[in-house]
Structure 1
């Protein structure tokens, strides 16, 4: 590295001397001085480089002398791990490797050598002593590296052999130990195990009659002294291998005893306890005490440390001591400060010359129980979501009938009529009810979205006036945008609802006032990110942060805030639907929402949306038609299929008022019976999606086999993707969400009949 720098310095010095000949006075003296300094630096670099070369030659010569007769494989590398020298033992085993990386040597006998190589180089640079045990099918090796000089590393590979040392690195107990692959193949047994068995089995199934052995299991093995009962204690090994220890209980017909003695079990890397039938803990090993977070078990009872059977633990212990149900594992929970710890306990009966006792094998299942609780919670949320979606679907049918018949009445009443105001009130309240249903569908993530390309800077600017009115006078609202903010694709109306919910919650958390900050920024993930049990794939995202200075949310409540009907507010101040609705909208949009909170400092909600920079066609919105257009007569035959009688009655009347000929059917089967008449002419199908028996897309697909040019309008209280993801796209079809108005229905049908060549998506007016 120094030699190129020296050449550059010499060139710069010559340039200074050359320039000095062209000037005079102070400039000349300055250039000569600069050239002289550069010459001195060049000389220093040459001297330093020469000394380093001499030191390197000295290190190489000394390494050759010291490692010439070393039976272990020794390598000298530079600071990047490139081999400079290897001793004869290394050359005999690996061949000449000078100029190659150390990882190339490791790759000849192990998988994924680059990761080990990088890790050891990183540790040695931090000044740590580095030593790694490597376990392969060919045996066990110990690789160590030390720093000889700032630019030289010495690597030593010791062959520890595969006969007397177990791969787990913890064979200090003297207990028989087996190391097996996940598929049950045995790759190593230690000396104690070979002496106990008298042979070397090839697989777990050959030894235990089944490879599906588990920790805590009591079984009989064919040992050198005959059939012997053992307890299996298992711990995870390296590279997903299984390390199984055999705790010998004794001859099958003899009283059960722990043959290796409890002192041998103390260092066993599996939690074990010796328990009296009355519940007193007689002894425990180090792993058990660490798992239960106790210093010792003297004078303690198992019921003082574990709970969760739903009945006295002593009854369970008594049954196990009597040989009734002892081998069944039980999941118990820690008591006191360890209540967040879950332990799987398997009891096995043993005895010595004086009194009987139980051997308990413990396994830490805290993570498993946490995942189980999360799964149960997700099932509960899914069930509530399905319930909300079903209720919303049925309610949408009722709202369609109410608002539809109200539209029919409005056609016969003008503003001067005394009933006009009442009809308008009915219509407005039906619309409010539809908004409430939208919240239920948002929670169940089944609402109808109208996605469009959105610049959040414009959306928030439009919302600023409304948000300022919402927060009041005590709270100030500030916006901070990334000047190069990317666009997203979302439903603008639903997104505004999410932001308003978050801002209102922030306002309510600051009773004494403060500042709410809304920050938007771009985020690029080069690798996937895991946060709050969500996995975010790599890509470009737009982040929206809503930050308040309120009282915050306690850690025990924070994981529950997105649950429906759960609120941190006092009774009567919140419904518990705001954040669950926001969660549903964000997830259905394809985004993510997270919450962070410090009690007394404030809360931050972060919304992540995938960026979207591709132009798309804007959805065609059907505007409400003027009442006089309903009198225009058009031609066409409509087959209306709807299982809800009120909805079918309204839709039929609306279409007939428009001038269409309407054929009605209350189910898909009745519709197909009508179409069985080949002389019947039908121009368009208007059908519900979800019906008893055959659903809408299914019967339409059957009907289109003989009438391929017929247009289709699907109507549903569910979202469009509730059926679109599972079934192929039906040609010449559009979707109209419930509740729809009279004008939305008639204009959708008219648009389909006039021009079905352009993709049209209808929305309720």
Structure 2
């Protein structure tokens, strides 16, 4: 019986190898397709890519018949994957489990200035930690995202996914936060669709940073400037690619002398920083090679479309100055309503600037001037000047001048703020100096009153007069404390506290101060950080603001106190040039009163400035608030509209716990509080005769032997003469040799000598500037009893420390 016909079969080894090869190709295809899907998120493209691998897997056994083959391994075609990633407008990279960069697209390279691994990217603040945490979550869960990563030039969002065979790879996709960085937006436009539309119009474009380095360019510029449209242009300086011939016309450096000269139109990328990066548009001077014959209208339409896409305020004018085109950004900056049209640039400005603008446009259109800026005032906002930049334009059809409008109101506002801060600092220094000198006078007056009261008892004919003098002197001392508060030189006793606790302590007082016609509302936010401040001074800040609000609401109203947390990210969004980017606890104090007129809101923190009637205010309330807040390390701002009320915003930095540092030895009290007698020798150093006389008499009356020196040199002579001194009392600020210098020399010979400084300046400020251990401080003005008690306590503390 005949055997059935059997088709020739592949040898077992070959058949097995073919099956393994097919499986390897399919596995590699699936891995690559997974990476592409994770990177691009494009399902049709991924499906086509996978279908190619499936077809290859089916064809492979046919190609492998007739011979054995080694077992293939799953291999990813990284070059093919990189080419696929180039279609993405986001920055995309692939890393392995060790974090090593395997491939990335050109957007990634341009964005990060090279090919660093994601773990080495230069993110600000805690960005690197957040990125690393996202990678760990992606390895664990397969997917993670991070929003708001901050670089020096832009903000980014991240999506990271685990992909590939066995989930052995991570795909990192970075996309720029919209509207965050005009520089990167401009780079994307130049090297993207906008750049290609410029090429169609024959317009070369290059983005150049503030150092003159080329950051990016369209293909037509790279072709003409470098000879290769694919060559990397970032290695070149923009001036090196240009040259000026004998005819003083600008040409590309690699083109011959008979080539068409080019017209360069610079456009600032960031209107807030006109000295930063710029977009350079370059056109052939006569248009011969820029535009094809018969294509002028198409090219002009393309240029108009391009200008419409740019976020900069741009417009084109013809030779007689008439507007040909303006984009939406220009219209908004000019204050034009939708659909509103103007014929000439001079129609936008006030009457006084019309002739200047019209003449400038005609001059630039005729090519008789270099690009420049004009400070003009717009009709819709005549109080705030703006900058109008004009440049000649050729090769753009009928356009003869390019205009750019920049709103510099923020810049003007910043200049006013800086001027105001400088003035406040100068006034504060003056106030501090006056208060310091006045404290010396008050110390003498109060001291002499105390000495006289020791000889008079209640009932004497002069007793009441002396008490009245002392009472008025203490009122004057309170006035100097307000001046020192404004100049940030008062003595504070800071504590770690919560703002809601401070407000709670004085809420009943506030209700009594505000009266029945004013309603007090209090609202506290969550997750408030601790602040370091003097609670008493912080209460004074709130009370002063509340009293001012009450006076601004004579018919009654509402005073609202609200606390809330302000993160560093929120501060960054505020864009303040003054506040450091840290976490704050904020207090808002708002009223529904009459408001503050714009012409005086910049003066409200100045000392002695008041709008109240004579005798009803000293003008030190808000200046005291300003000084206390600034000395605490915070910031205060006022917002107001007449008739709409006023809002004060206080920002106090969140206290960061630090390692404990050695504090100066606190004076210990070892006797009864009323007993101030003592023994020993005191060296008193004071350059003011009236203060020195009162202090000497006060200490002698308490039983001390007192040595007198009018300056640091005399004190050192006494110490070197062998005088045994139990306590050194010295003023801080003295001519020729100040107190701290004297103490350093004295401690060189007598390291255990107790020191008591007295000064009219702030203790905290002096402690920061005086790097000396074991010192005590007595603020001026002081009474006889306070001086005696301080001397006793310092000497007692020194004895305890020595024991």
TM-score, normalising length: structure 1? 0.64
The residue aligned with 1:54 is none
Contact 2:559 2:589 in 1 (8 A): yes
Q: Given the superposition, is the C-alpha separation of residues 242 and 497 from structure 1 closer, same or farther in structure 2, using an over 3 Å criterion?
A: same
User: Within the alignment, does 1:246 sit opposite 2:274 as a pair?
Assistant: no
Q: Given the superposition, is the C-alpha separation of residues 649 and 274 from structure 1 closer, same or farther in structure 2, using an over 3 Å criterion?
A: farther
Q: Given the superposition, is the C-alpha separation of residues 246 and 387 from structure 1 closer, same or farther in structure 2, using an over 3 Å criterion?
A: farther
User: Within the alignment, does 1:399 sit opposite 2:445 as a pair?
Assistant: no
Q: Give the Å deviation of 1:300.
A: 4.4
Q: Give the Å deviation of 1:582.
A: 1.7
Q: Give the Å deviation of 1:465.
A: 5.4
Distance 1:470 1:156 in 2: 59
Which of residues 487, 490, 494 in structure 2 aligns to 1:451?
494
Q: Give the Å deviation of 1:363.
A: 4.8
Distance 1:296 1:503 in 2: 50
User: Within the alignment, does 1:740 sit opposite 2:782 as a pair?
Assistant: yes
The residue aligned with 1:167 is 191
Distance 1:644 1:308 in 2: 61
Q: Give the Å deviation of 1:314.
A: 7.9
Distance 1:300 1:488 in 2: 53
The residue aligned with 1:16 is none
SS of the aligned residue for 1:245 comes to strand
In the TM superposition, what whole-angstrom CA distance separates every residue of 1:656-712 from its partner, at most 9, and x where no partner exists?
33333333333334434444x352333332222223344322332233222222221
User: Within the alignment, does 1:638 sit opposite 2:662 as a pair?
Assistant: no
Q: Given the superposition, is the C-alpha separation of residues 749 and 178 from structure 1 closer, same or farther in structure 2, using an over 3 Å criterion?
A: same
In the TM superposition, what whole-angstrom CA distance separates every residue of 1:700-745 from its partner, at most 9, and x where no partner exists?
22332222222211222111233332442x1221111111111212
Q: Given the superposition, is the C-alpha separation of residues 681 and 757 from structure 1 closer, same or farther in structure 2, using an over 3 Å criterion?
A: closer
In the TM superposition, what whole-angstrom CA distance separates every residue of 1:204-261 from its partner, at most 9, and x where no partner exists?
2423689xxxxxx997764625394744413439xx975322356579xxxxxxxx99
Which of residues 266, 269, 280 in structure 2 aligns to 1:236?
269
Q: What are the within-5 Å matches in structure 2 for residues 287-306 of structure 1?
A: 288-294=330-336, 298-301=343-346, 304=349
Which of residues 624, 627, 632 in structure 2 aligns to 1:589?
632
Q: Give the Å deviation of 1:383.
A: 1.8
Q: Given the superposition, is the C-alpha separation of residues 539 and 490 from structure 1 closer, same or farther in structure 2, using an over 3 Å criterion?
A: same
In the TM superposition, what whole-angstrom CA distance separates every residue of 1:558-603 from its partner, at most 9, and x where no partner exists?
6765455566767876554323322322332345556666876755
SS of the aligned residue for 1:75 comes to helix
SS of the aligned residue for 1:705 comes to helix
Distance 2:40 2:346 in 1: 59
Structure 1, gaps ≥5 residues long: 1-63, 119-142, 144-154, 158-163, 211-216, 252-259, 760-765
User: Within the alignment, does 1:654 sit opposite 2:698 as a pair?
Assistant: yes
Contact 2:390 2:404 in 1 (8 A): yes
User: Within the alignment, does 1:337 sit opposite 2:380 as a pair?
Assistant: yes
The residue aligned with 1:705 is 748
Contact 1:408 1:654 in 2 (8 A): yes
Contact 2:334 2:405 in 1 (8 A): no
SS of the aligned residue for 2:715 comes to helix
Distance 1:751 1:320 in 2: 80
The residue aligned with 2:8 is none
SS of the aligned residue for 1:686 comes to strand
Q: Give the Å deviation of 1:447.
A: 1.2
The residue aligned with 1:193 is 221
Q: Given the superposition, is the C-alpha separation of residues 456 and 242 from structure 1 closer, same or farther in structure 2, using an over 3 Å criterion?
A: closer
Distance 1:470 1:319 in 2: 66
Contact 1:344 1:364 in 2 (8 A): yes
User: Within the alignment, does 1:423 sit opposite 2:459 as a pair?
Assistant: no
Q: Given the superposition, is the C-alpha separation of residues 307 and 668 from structure 1 closer, same or farther in structure 2, using an over 3 Å criterion?
A: farther
The residue aligned with 1:135 is none
The residue aligned with 1:87 is 49
Q: What are the within-5 Å matches in structure 2 for residues 491-510 of structure 1?
A: 491-510=534-553
Q: Give the Å deviation of 1:432.
A: 0.8
Q: Given the superposition, is the C-alpha separation of residues 78 and 580 from structure 1 closer, same or farther in structure 2, using an over 3 Å criterion?
A: same
In the TM superposition, what whole-angstrom CA distance separates every residue of 1:406-450 from its partner, at most 9, and x where no partner exists?
222222222222111111111111111111111122222221112
Q: Give the Å deviation of 1:203.
A: 1.8
Contact 1:249 1:350 in 2 (8 A): no
Q: Given the superposition, is the C-alpha separation of residues 345 and 667 from structure 1 closer, same or farther in structure 2, using an over 3 Å criterion?
A: farther
Distance 1:223 1:571 in 2: 78
Q: Given the superposition, is the C-alpha separation of residues 193 and 404 from structure 1 closer, same or farther in structure 2, using an over 3 Å criterion?
A: same
Contact 1:596 1:603 in 2 (8 A): yes
The residue aligned with 1:762 is none
The residue aligned with 2:257 is 226
User: Within the alignment, does 1:753 sit opposite 2:787 as a pair?
Assistant: no
Q: Given the superposition, is the C-alpha separation of residues 323 and 739 from structure 1 closer, same or farther in structure 2, using an over 3 Å criterion?
A: farther
The residue aligned with 2:476 is 433
Distance 1:504 1:540 in 2: 25
Q: Give the Å deviation of 1:276.
A: 10
The residue aligned with 1:176 is 204
In the TM superposition, what whole-angstrom CA distance separates every residue of 1:95-153 from its partner, at most 9, and x where no partner exists?
7899xx996549723158899x99xxxxxxxxxxxxxxxxxxxxxxxx9xxxxxxxxxx
Distance 1:758 1:416 in 2: 42
Distance 2:353 2:434 in 1: 38
Contact 1:334 1:343 in 2 (8 A): yes
Which of residues 689, 708, 728 in structure 2 aligns to 1:664?
708
Contact 2:664 2:776 in 1 (8 A): no
Q: What are the within-5 Å matches in structure 2 for residues 673-684 of structure 1?
A: 673-675=717-719, 677-684=720-727
Q: Given the superposition, is the C-alpha separation of residues 584 and 207 from structure 1 closer, same or farther in structure 2, using an over 3 Å criterion?
A: same
Q: Give the Å deviation of 1:628.
A: 9.0
Distance 1:441 1:396 in 2: 10
Distance 2:707 2:353 in 1: 64
SS of the aligned residue for 2:267 comes to strand
Q: Given the superposition, is the C-alpha separation of residues 166 and 669 from structure 1 closer, same or farther in structure 2, using an over 3 Å criterion?
A: same
Q: Given the superposition, is the C-alpha separation of residues 235 and 466 from structure 1 closer, same or farther in structure 2, using an over 3 Å criterion?
A: closer
The residue aligned with 2:240 is 206
Distance 1:156 1:482 in 2: 36
Distance 1:168 1:436 in 2: 66
In the TM superposition, what whole-angstrom CA distance separates every residue of 1:525-565 from its partner, at most 9, and x where no partner exists?
58554558365766685x66555444455788767654555
Contact 2:754 2:774 in 1 (8 A): yes
- Cα RMSD of the aligned pairs, angstroms, is 5.6
Structure 2, gaps ≥5 residues long: 1-25, 54-75, 85-89, 96-102, 113-117, 122-126, 135-158, 160-171, 175-187, 271-275, 288-295
TM-score, normalising length: structure 2? 0.62
SS of the aligned residue for 1:377 comes to helix
Distance 1:328 1:102 in 2: 36
In the TM superposition, what whole-angstrom CA distance separates every residue of 1:7-55 from its partner, at most 9, and x where no partner exists?
xxxxxxxxxxxxxxxxxxxxxxxxxxxxxxxxxxxxxxxxxxxxxxxxx
Q: Given the superposition, is the C-alpha separation of residues 462 and 235 from structure 1 closer, same or farther in structure 2, using an over 3 Å criterion?
A: closer
Q: Given the superposition, is the C-alpha separation of residues 303 and 503 from structure 1 closer, same or farther in structure 2, using an over 3 Å criterion?
A: closer
Contact 1:273 1:361 in 2 (8 A): yes
Distance 1:753 1:504 in 2: 44
Contact 2:667 2:794 in 1 (8 A): no
The residue aligned with 1:108 is 104
Q: Single out whichever of 600-609 and 497-506 deviates more from structure 2.
A: 600-609
Q: Give the Å deviation of 1:187.
A: 4.8
In the TM superposition, what whole-angstrom CA distance separates every residue of 1:301-356 from its partner, at most 9, and x where no partner exists?
388369789x96789889999999x658546143221447654455667999xx99
Q: Given the superposition, is the C-alpha separation of residues 368 and 225 from structure 1 closer, same or farther in structure 2, using an over 3 Å criterion?
A: farther
Q: Given the superposition, is the C-alpha separation of residues 717 and 328 from structure 1 closer, same or farther in structure 2, using an over 3 Å criterion?
A: farther
Contact 2:664 2:773 in 1 (8 A): no
